Structure 1
């Protein structure tokens, strides 16, 4: 099987005709048709309904077109990584949760680029639980994550090293009116719409008691949305659809610009810690370089 046969088939599905696809692939139409037939012979099935007056994929070809496209993309990406690793050495892999990817990670990456521009790094952004799992399985060299203050991760693992990079407040906020004041009057309102985290998520567990419990004791709380997607919660709060807690690093510019108002004095919020983890004797030399920078003077959270 030749990769060009897969590329021919995908070009055919996009072009809609054999003649146009052959032109795109810079071959004659008879040669292009032979390559499609060679792919079908290798697969052992026909892909094209040749009895139809217009180009029609058979049902199984339609069902697997996206999978073939994904396979080809992964193959080319793998080729690129192999070539880069052969030329420059293996990369360090850092895994981090989505919220930190938006808030703290850009500062950390600029720090890396400034002080170790030759160190190659790949970032994987995932849900917090997936990041921890990938790190523990050895699929990542570095783990950057948020923790509840006083409750560090992986404390029982002697081969795992931890650096605390700073703390940030989880702040209850809501949108502001045209005067820059909170749109919800906590003194006089009894009904409060809540944009909340899923109970099974990290931040959902952190807030469940006493913060959400106290809120439910003093107000008639209406749950508007429940999600683990922190960036989505920010957008809903900015739209004025409720109140909710967000990490300060994510909304610092919104608070300064008056787009969001802090309700911290009234509702309170837990303190989070941003920490980085590294497994000893694991990974590429690039990971060692970056770990030294993290232990030296990293940017503040």
Structure 2
């Protein structure tokens, strides 16, 4: 059994689409499908129900997903521990970050931490929230930087992961601004004239937060989805071009709002306060990661 098959399966479980999962794994769909079949043959059970319009995990697939994630996480942790025992200093900090925070928050935040502290080598991978969760669950990243809302779901269970609050942000509904500075689209819209909606994909953490906060798609406003993406920067560009309304972090939209390219498309009742948090596994990581985390805790205290 090739451990790469486990990564293939977890990616498919996240994407629930063979084409997108194959693309994420940088291979053709036929090759990807053969690898999933090979894993199922090795296990001796069907993991994916392919008979429905949209694929779904079987009962065996749901059970095996957690096992696969645990195997990969233990392999990663074990490798780092053995390298330290063998005298190989593990000095790298491996970050996963959602796209928006990798641009708006991470550079200045990390620059402020470097003063007087040897951070060593740093790796940052930016992706949507589902992929970032996968990096953490598989042990491919030590730390995750993301937006957080207490009502929104995520896969980093408190029994296995801890987090620190680093800052605050707010999701705002925005629209392109007319010549007088007013939004060309304004909430709430009507059933007879729904507003064009630039929507986050379900893989996005922002999409989960908006759904959990129940400000969109709950019957209190009339929205017609016209475009979807997991990237806030793409939706922001579409909103700036007048294509519709999008919820976007203030940290990303602030310059456009100040310079009049965007306008708020709704008052405070449509605003969603969110946190910026950093997550780590509770299991011990390398000395470098532990020292970095202790420094963060001391600063937050």
TM bin (shorter chain): 0.5 to 0.7
TM-score, normalised on structure 1? 0.61
- Structure 1, unaligned runs of 5 or more: 1-85
Match of 1:213 among 204, 213, 217: 217
* Residues 227, 233 of structure 1: 8 Å contact kept: yes
Query: Corresponding residue for 2:106?
Result: 105
1:278 maps to 280
Distance 1:264 1:297, change over 3 A: farther
Aligned length: 211
CA RMSD, Structure 1 to Structure 2 (Å): 3.0
Q: Structure 2: 5+ residue runs without aligned partners? A: 1-86
Query: Is it true that 1:226 corresponds to 2:228 in the alignment?
Result: yes
Give the deviation of 1:90 after TM superposition: 2.7
Task: Give the equivalent residue in structure 1 for 2:97.
Answer: 96
Please list, as runs of the form range in 1=range in 2, the aligned pairs for 1:90-239 lying within 5 A after superposition. Answer: 90-150=91-151, 154-157=156-159, 160-186=161-187, 190-208=193-211, 210-214=214-218, 218-219=221-222, 221-239=223-241
Distance 1:291 1:162, change over 3 A: same
- Cα shift at 1:167: 2.5
Return structure 1 stretches of 4+ with deviation > 6 angstroms.
Answer: none
Superposed displacement of residue 95, structure 1: 1.0
Distance, in Å, in 1 between the alignment partners of 2:286 and 2:95 is: 12
Quick one: distance in 2 between partners of 1:273 and 1:231? Answer: 19
Pair 285,269 (structure 1): closer, same or farther in 2 beyond 3 Å: same
Q: Residue 289 of structure 1 aligns with which residue?
A: 291
CA contact (8 A) 2:197 2:226 kept: yes
Q: TM-score, normalised by structure 2?
A: 0.61
Distance in 2 (alpha carbons) for counterparts of 1:123 and 1:255? 28
Shift of 1:87: 10
CA shift at 1:223, angstroms? 2.2
